Amino acid sequence: MTDTQDSPKPDRKRGSGVRLVYDLLREEILDLDLAPGSIVDEVQLADRFGMSRTPIREALVRLAGEGLIVTLPNRSTMVAPIDFANLAAFFDAMVLMYRVTTRLAAEHRSDADLARLEALQADFAETVHAGDDLAMIAANRDFHAAIAAAGRNPYYIALFSRLLDEGRRILRMYYYTSFQPASPHPYILEHEAILVAIAARDVDLCDRLARDHAEKIVHQIKSMIAPEPRHEISI
């Protein structure tokens, strides 16, 4: 018997392998290290992570449930493409969910929720001041996901998280050329105003602030995707 056969494999707690694969692949998908439309091969992933295909498959199923992985007719899997054809519907849903989740947070938030939101806002501000656009996009997503969590509606939380993840991929694709670090950055001020309104349980103000904030983000994404250069033509 060889030394390899004699040596026991590292003991993993049940589910820890799935979690490891899920966490790493999820970040790689959201950061576009795994590009939209790229094939995801179970055998290659098993070799990469040094584990059987079972936890790999379970992690991919979980990612598929979040819309980040899709299964093709030939049973192979790939990173979900970004659905540019339905961006208008995506933007409508995004703005609506910004408003709904922020309203609910004002109604149902706890002191612990406020403390978490303040910590996440501090993280966001730090990434902005550092000019780290990749970290800023992720921190912005986490801040708004936490607002949804404070609203206590699990269906809204799941839907908004999915929209935020898709928005993170779109921003990751286009944000480099448009990022202009400024102090104070407008989004920092907008987040702080939203926090004050949530703390005051001012539902109507939360609605207005969230709508304006979301519309500004949508406008920015649209301008990044299609700048629409104008040319004066003399006739």
Segments of the chain with pLDDT less than 70: 1-15, 175-184, 227-235
Instruction: Tell me what pLDDT residue 24 has.
Output: 97
* CATH number assigned to the domain comprising residue 24: 1.10.10.10
Which residues does residue 40 pair with via DSSP β-bridges, in sequence order? 77
Q: What are the tens digits of pLDDT across the range 127-159?
A: 998 888 889 999 999 999 999 999 999 999 999
pTM for this predicted structure: 0.84
CATH of the domain at 193: 1.20.120.530
Q: Which helix (H) or strand (E) holds 107?
A: helix 87-108
Answer yes or no: do 64 and 159 share one domain. Answer: no
Q: Distance between CA 220 and CA 185 in Å, rounded?
A: 14
Instruction: Report yes or no on 93 lying in a domain.
Output: yes
Q: Which of 79, 99, 119 is the last residue of a domain?
A: 79
In the prediction, which pLDDT does 183 show? 45
195 and 174 in a single domain? The answer is yes
- Please check whether residues 105 and 119 belong to one and the same domain: yes
Distance CA 53, CA 123 (A): 36
φ and ψ of 182, to 5 deg: -145, 155
